């Protein structure tokens, strides 16, 4: 256990970096997901507009 704590102390900055990267990847994945869903809604709306135009 001693060696593990010493390792953590000496490399704290990398631990910070890994945590920050995990947060960033999480945020990016969330945004990417939102973007995909928005694209789907956009396509659906365009389809509905097409159908309305065809009805006229």
Partner 1 sequence: MAWKIFLFILLTFVLIAGISFPIVENPKVWYQFPLIPGLKENAKIIFFHVPSAWLAVIGFLMSTIYSIKYLRKKNLDDDAKSYSAAQLGLIFCILATITGAVWAKFAWGSFWSWDPRQTSIFALLLIYGAWFALRSSIESEDKRATLSAVYSIIAFVTVPFFVFIMPRIMDGLHPGSADDKVTPGGGPIVDFRMNDSMLVIFFLSLIGFTILYYWMWKIGYKSLLYKEKLNKKLIRG
Residues that bind partner 1 (CB under 8 A): 13-14, 16-17, 20-21, 24, 28, 31-32, 34-35, 38, 41-42, 45, 48
Spatial separation of the C-alpha atoms in residues 28 and 2, rounded to whole Å: 36
Residues 6+ apart with CB under 8 A from 15: 8
CB of 1 to partner 1, least distance (A): 25
Residue 17 CA, chain-centre distance (Å), reads: 18
CB of 26 to partner 1, least distance (A): 12
CB of 5 to partner 1, least distance (A): 20
């Amino acid at each position: 256990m001693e060696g593990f704590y010493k390792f953590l102390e000496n490399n704290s900055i990398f631990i910070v970096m890994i945590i920050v990267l995990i947060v960033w990847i999480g945020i990016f994945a969330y945004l990417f997901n939102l973007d995909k869903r928005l694209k789907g809604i956009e396509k659906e709306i365009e389809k509905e507009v097409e159908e309305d135009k065809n009805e006229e």
